[in-house]
Amino acid sequence: MYRLIESILIPVMALLLSLLVFSVFIMLSGSNALEVLATIYRGAFGSWFSWQNTLVRAAPLMLTALCTALPARIGLINIGGEGAMVVGGLCAAVVGISMNGMSPMVVMSAMVITGMLTAGCWVAMIGALKHYRNVNETISSLLLNYIAIAIMSFLILGPMRDPATLNNPSSFPIGEANMIGNIGESSIHWGLVFGLVVCIALWFLMRRTSFGFAVDMTGGNIRAAQISGLGVGKLIIITCFLAGAATGIAGVIEVAAVHGRANLSLNSGYGYAGILVAFLARHNPLAIIPVAILMGGIRASSGLLQRGFDLPDATTLVLQGIIFIVILASESLYGRIKWLRPMAVRHG
């Protein structure tokens, strides 16, 4: 109980504090802070249109955040989400294009599975390099992003290029029938459902199973984990694989629900934005859901701020940055709030 209250109270307070700091920034730049905050709320959550806008932007962030969150639980700082998303989307497009004509259900499933497997292996490679060769995973994951993007550029500008896409090079289309559509009458694609389901499933795995316990233990003290007989190498590789697989789905969604083909916009920063979401969620897969929605909302409101107040797009980046710093700083508060202590004694 104590933990739950603490884990809700501290982020909420941190959020309020960051809004306060942000308001000061807005006032210094000469706008009315209250109006700006009200506009952010309206642009993000003020109407059904705004909600759809927010959720559609949140969907890929849920999946790419897992790419950083899961490895972080086992003690690895992985920032390879961008590359994993590109790899997953690209490979899914290859499968989708070559299976064109088969039953859409089969093609869609094949694309999702391919995206998960390939992106999973991509990130598992980062874990394996770390465990067996002691290659720093932060550096290798960052560099692998560039490799993934370069491979994509090569394929899309070369062998996979549809010659009809003259000035916006793209792969051949996967076909309208094989597209994953929107949820009901809304303008939200099924990527959101994938994001929610995967986050909840991985939360269950990480917090309610012995596998998740072993991962947390390895992350806490790798020597202790080894001494108690855990197969640390295997744990690292499986965790990284799951992280990559989740992110691969985000790539598949970009191809199969948004563009209908693979093109250079597979690399549009969702992987990097996911890092922020993962840290804000303190690497808890369940917390990723509300954090991703919050970030999606901030991104969704950017347009209104620009149009209504003539503020640059960077304003929302400033807000994101402030939230990031304040939440990270608030980490030090856990277990230190005096008036919450008695509850800890009572409930353990």
Partner 1 sequence: MSEQKLNAGRRKALKTLSALSATGLLGSFVPGAWASAKKVKMGFIYVGPRDDYGYNQAHFEGKSSLSNLDWVKTFDEENVPETIEVVKSMESMINLDDAQVLFPTSFGYFDPHILKVAKKYPDVMFLHCGGLWDEKKHPKNVGSYFGYIDEPVYLAGVVAGHMSKSGKLGYIAAIPIPQVLRNINSFTLGARSVNPDITTNVVFTGGWANPVKEAEAANSMADQGIDVLTCHVDSPKVVVQTAEKRGIYSCGYHTDQSVLAPKGFLTGAEWNWSKVYADYAEMIKSGKKIPNLIRGGLKEGVVKPSPYGKAVTAKAKSDADAVLKKFMNGSMVVYKGPIKDNTGKTVIPEGKAYTQTDIWLESMDWLVEGVIGTTKG
Q: Which residues bind partner 1 (CB under 8 A)?
A: 39, 42-43, 49, 52-53, 56-57, 150, 153-154, 157-158, 165-170, 187, 189, 254, 258-260, 263-265, 268-269, 299-300, 302-304, 306-308, 312-313
DSSP characters over 103-172: -HHHHHHHHHHHHHHHHHHHHHHHHHHHHHH---HHHHHHHHHHHHHHHHHHHHHTTTB-TT--SS-BB-
The least distance separating partner 1 from the CB of residue 54, rounded to whole angstroms, comes to 9
Q: Which is nearer to partner 1, 269 or 342 (CB)?
A: 269
Q: Which is nearer to partner 1, 7 or 100 (CB)?
A: 100
Q: Which is nearer to partner 1, 223 or 310 (CB)?
A: 310
Inter-CA distances, 334 with 5, 81, 282, 290, Å = 11, 28, 12, 20
Q: Beta-carbon neighbour count of residue 135 at 10 Å?
A: 15
The least distance separating partner 1 from the CB of residue 5, rounded to whole angstroms, comes to 36
The least distance separating partner 1 from the CB of residue 72, rounded to whole angstroms, comes to 26
The least distance separating partner 1 from the CB of residue 166, rounded to whole angstroms, comes to 5
The least distance separating partner 1 from the CB of residue 90, rounded to whole angstroms, comes to 15
The least distance separating partner 1 from the CB of residue 310, rounded to whole angstroms, comes to 9
The least distance separating partner 1 from the CB of residue 340, rounded to whole angstroms, comes to 40
Distance CA 9, CA 148 (A): 40
Distance CA 217, CA 224 (A): 8
Name every residue whose Cβ is closer than 8 Å to that of residue 287 and which is 6 or more positions away in sequence. 281
DSSP characters over 197-265: HHHHHHHHHHHHSHHHHHHHHHHH-HHHHHHTT--HHHHHHHHHHHHHHHHHHHHHHIIIIIISS-BGG
Q: Which is nearer to partner 1, 53 or 284 (CB)?
A: 53
Question: Which residue is listed with tokens 């690399």?
Answer: 267
Inter-CA distances, 25 with 16, 17, 293, Å = 14, 13, 23
Q: Which is nearer to partner 1, 160 or 235 (CB)?
A: 160
